[in-house]
Amino acid sequence: MITKEHIFELLETVLDPEVPVLSVVDLGIIRHVEIQDELVKIQITPTYTGCPAMKMIEMNLQAAFAVENIPLSIETILSPAWTTDWMSENGKLKLQKYGIAAPIGLAGRSLGLFEKEIQIACPRCQSVHTEKISEFGSTACKALYRCLDCKEPFDYFKCH
Ligand SMILES: [Zn+2]
């Protein structure tokens, strides 16, 4: 018998290729899990439409379930769109330890002018004395910042 607990254990082993400390559960992209006889059906919502990491995540999900001979069907749900609010608190902590500033505030409120007023804390020294260097960091999902105290550049996982 396949249990939901076991499915979540498997899901926890599938990591975001862009931020390999975050599992798909931490990311909050798993919308729904259903067991139908021996088939496991999951619904996922991509973090960013057209994010190349999503294809890899789907392949890694299939691989993780194939190891245990569990047939998996993946359905992609585009609406409602994923927001950083869905990321687990544990996921945000892991991001911070990984050296990426976690998204702050509610995605819906961070649009427009308000976003410029948010002080992003340096994930290394927690200083809020930071500046944005580029709208795009190591991937399109992140912005590049620099800490003015410890002088280290860092990625900020953008709210959206
Ligand atoms: Zn710093």
* Among 132, 127, 133, 136, CA closest to 117: 132
Query: Which structural domain range is residue 97 located in?
Result: 89-157
DSSP 15: B
Last-in-domain residue among 55, 76, 97: 76
Residue-wise pLDDT for 8-51, tens only, equals 999 999 998 888 899 999 999 999 999 998 899 999 998 876 66
CA 130 to ligand 1 center in whole angstroms: 8
What is the domain-level CATH number for residue 42?
A: 3.30.300.130
CA 144 to ligand 1 center in whole angstroms: 13
Q: Let me know whether 103 and 64 are in one domain.
A: no
Q: Let me know whether 13 and 64 are in one domain.
A: yes
Whether 84 is in a domain gets the answer no
* Whether pLDDT at 111 is above 50: no
Which amino acid, one-letter code, is at 15?
A: L
The percentage of residues in the chain with a pLDDT greater than 70, rounded to a whole number, is: 88
Predicted confidence at residue 108, as pLDDT, reads: 47
Written as six digits, the tokens of 16 are 């975001």
CA 15 to ligand 1 center in whole angstroms: 27
Q: Let me know whether 59 and 26 are in one domain.
A: yes
Claim: this prediction has a pTM higher than 0.85 = no
Last-in-domain residue among 45, 76, 107: 76
Whether 83 is in a domain gets the answer no
Written as six digits, the tokens of 116 are 């410029």
Whether 45 is in a domain gets the answer yes
Predicted confidence at residue 49, as pLDDT, reads: 64
CA 133 to ligand 1 center in whole angstroms: 14
Provide the number of structural domains found in the chain: 2
Question: What is the rounded (10 degree) CA torsion for 34, 35, 36, 42?
Answer: 40
Judged by average pLDDT, the poorest of 17-31, 86-100, 101-115, 141-155 is 101-115
> Cβ contacts of residue 106 below 8 Å, gap of 6+?
85, 159
Whether 106 is in a domain gets the answer yes
Last-in-domain residue among 76, 108, 132: 76
Mean pLDDT, residues 139-144: 82
